[in-house]
Chain A
């Protein structure tokens, strides 16, 4: 859960990009890092713990600060997880303390089983941390919409977004930065509204 420091008026929030291997999680962070508009010093370095072939080994990490929120210095820490099935322990470690999740699905038809498996793995890993998908705000991103062999969005919604309460979903082409900021803005808005609705004003 987020760290709220009333002494320094700081709110720190952790968002994890989750999804199957090669789906575009790291590309999302790279695009945010390259294109986000910030006041000087509000954007941290993008740190990638990756293999020599640029596959995420542990996580990618990008700290950024939202400019438009008054009252609290609101710091967002964006993480990715490694998508390959074998790195499940690592995914569990990165999920620790998560506040919000962006699930990055690969829109190609042949990747649907991997999307479904990864989403189910997310659910299991959250349960191992005593969390539940219905309690953690999350957003779905259907990436790689520019490829020729993509599944219809309706089909992906049926596969990944058919719970009682539907999550917001976005189509994206992450390497062109399309849909990246829309997704990030939605998950941050959901998080902030969740915190405020939980908050009990001191002088109420």
Chain B
């Protein structure tokens, strides 16, 4: 197993800068996801790692060795493409044997007809390896079929098989699930995660779907406009984003952004609601970000007048939970909150409600999108 290090990688196509000095160190055996909106450079980064694209500056290191000048074919990485990129004229078995024949057979042994006759033993060994991989993926029954005769999910498995058969240093996956239907995508998510645990090999996974990133990865790197904004475990990315763009990109429905104010003593208020937290500086035009599940409806007369007044504008019933869309401050600020079906039962569009945030889970960002940390209680007392 080898570590992979990307060191100050930059890439530009003509005047367009796609990647700005990326630093990324991938631990051996981890499942690392590069996630970001389309055009953020995540696929380009993966292709630079694969050797399919040449970086404008910086180094790629695999197992401690600089591989800038090493061709994709010699990097011993395997890639699964969004379109699967199976060879349409070959059966699944031939597709899976291709990486092996290209690695293990000489030019003469690869000749059609003549080759198999010359190196029968070698061919048999490669065949056995391909079949063994097919067993792991449960596609033995499909080995004789051509890609055109397979469903999307089966093609996906065949492409995985072609990547796995060679036992590469790392698997690179470029949005491999985005061509599948929704149900299959959810299923393949858990299957890929299981496969990763089983193979104990490094996975580098590119996706624009934050749900895929959150569910599968050991660590995820949120990328935007050619930079890695935050690299952390999915929990930390979700709960403790260091940038407003990370906070808004990760999580569905989106995090609610409310205008806030900070007074001279660091006290935070938002739309007239005072938060029981303080910060150590006084930013201009800060934003208070609250996840939908960290907002709740006020209960009972004891809490009347303590929350933010809002009007329900839309109800999304998902069965197990209900997302309430509401408008704050006379309709200027839309928010979404998660409610239990029982709570939401009595509410209809136009109902007046009061919303209470969990103060310890509301996140404050300055006007540049930088996260501001709250002062600990001791610091507040000292101030």
A pairs with B: no
B-side residues, CB < 8 A to A, are: none
